[in-house]
Structures are given as structure tokens and as C-alpha cells.
Amino acid sequence: MPMIQELVPGQGATILEIMNDAANAYRGAIPDDRCKEPYMSAKELADEIRAGVRFYGWFEDGFLLGSLGFNTSVAAI
């Protein structure tokens, strides 16, 4: 059964794999000044988590298929 669950820092390698694969799929749509290799490094992910970003993932049959970060520590404009 598909479901969304909060991810934990121990799943960082999988989060990075999904994010960087998605960035590669959207290469050309992501502005060149924001597109680098890798799109997100392990240090950047750790910094985001320390800054309060919470990551969630889409699971199907026990496999993480997608992820997103949710930041409630800053005001939206």
C-alpha cells in the first residue's frame, strides 16, 4: 500500500540518490546557475536537516520512490 512517511537522517544516502536522480531528469529545466553535480551533497543535506528541514518519502511495497523537504522554519513570501 502506498504511503508517505517522515524520513530519518539514517536514510540520507537514499534521499540523496532520489534527489540527484530527479535533478538529472530535469536537467535543462533547472536553471544553469542552480544545476551542479551532484545537485545536493551529503553536507548540504545534513545542513538542511540541521536547519530544520524535515524530509518525507513516498513508499510503495517497502521501497522509497520519492522524497521532499518541508521547511517550517522560515516565513513564506
Asked whether residue 43 is assigned to any structural domain, the reply reads: yes
Asked whether residue 76 is assigned to any structural domain, the reply reads: no
* Domain region containing 26: 3-71
The total number of structural domains in the chain stands at 1
* Angle at 22 (CA atoms; ends 19, 27), nearest 5 degrees: 120
1 band by pLDDT with thresholds 50, 70 and 90: confident
Cell numbers placing 44: 548540504
Q: Please tell me the distance from the alpha carbon of residue 23 to that of residue 40, in angstroms, as a whole number.
A: 9
76 band by pLDDT with thresholds 50, 70 and 90: low
The chain-wide mean pLDDT, for the chain, equals 87
Instruction: Name the more confident of 60 and 8.
Output: 60
| Residue 36 confidence (pLDDT) above 90 | no
0.85 cut: is pTM over it?
Answer: no
Asked whether residue 53 is assigned to any structural domain, the reply reads: yes
| pLDDT above 70: percentage of residues in the chain | 95
Task: Give the number of residues written for the chain.
Answer: 77
Asked whether residue 77 is assigned to any structural domain, the reply reads: no
Q: Please tell me the distance from the alpha carbon of residue 24 to that of residue 18, in angstroms, as a whole number.
A: 10
